[in-house]
Amino acid sequence: MTKAILSDTPRQNPCAQCGTPIPRPDWIEPGEGRVSYLWTCHVCNYRFEAVAVYDEAAVEHPPLAA
Ligand SMILES: [Zn+2]
């Protein structure tokens, strides 16, 4: 269930301050239906977090038969 998320790590995310592409996030924190990525720009030292939200958690909850 988590392997799809891990293989989907974003790369070359532009720095929110100076726009320099950052090869990969410094830190990845998986959560419930979402993953937080912490990015650090090595050009301007700016740090920011980006959150990816996945729909998978909301999918396939078949109602219980009465
Ligand atoms: Zn930067």
Give 10-residue mean pLDDT values along the chain (66 residues): 61 95 96 94 96 72 66
**Is residue 39 a part of any domain in this protein?**
yes
**Is residue 43 a part of any domain in this protein?**
yes
**Is residue 65 a part of any domain in this protein?**
no
**Is residue 66 a part of any domain in this protein?**
no
Show the tokens assigned to 29: 């924190």
**pTM passes above 0.75:** no
- Residues that place a CB less than 5 A from ion ligand 1: 15, 17-18, 20, 41, 43-44, 46
**Is residue 40 a part of any domain in this protein?**
yes
**Could you give the CA distance from residue 14 to residue 28 in angstroms, rounded to a whole number?**
17
**Is residue 38 a part of any domain in this protein?**
yes
Distance 49 CA to ligand 1 centre (A): 13
11: domain range?
A: 3-57
DSSP string, 49-61: EEEEE-SGGGS--
Q: What is the pLDDT of residue 9?
A: 83
Distance 48 CA to ligand 1 centre (A): 10
**Would you say 15 and 44 are in contact if contact means Cβ atoms under 8 Å apart?**
yes
Q: How many domains does the chain have?
A: 1
List the Cα angle 43/26/38 in 5-degree steps. Answer: 95
Widest CA span in the chain: 59
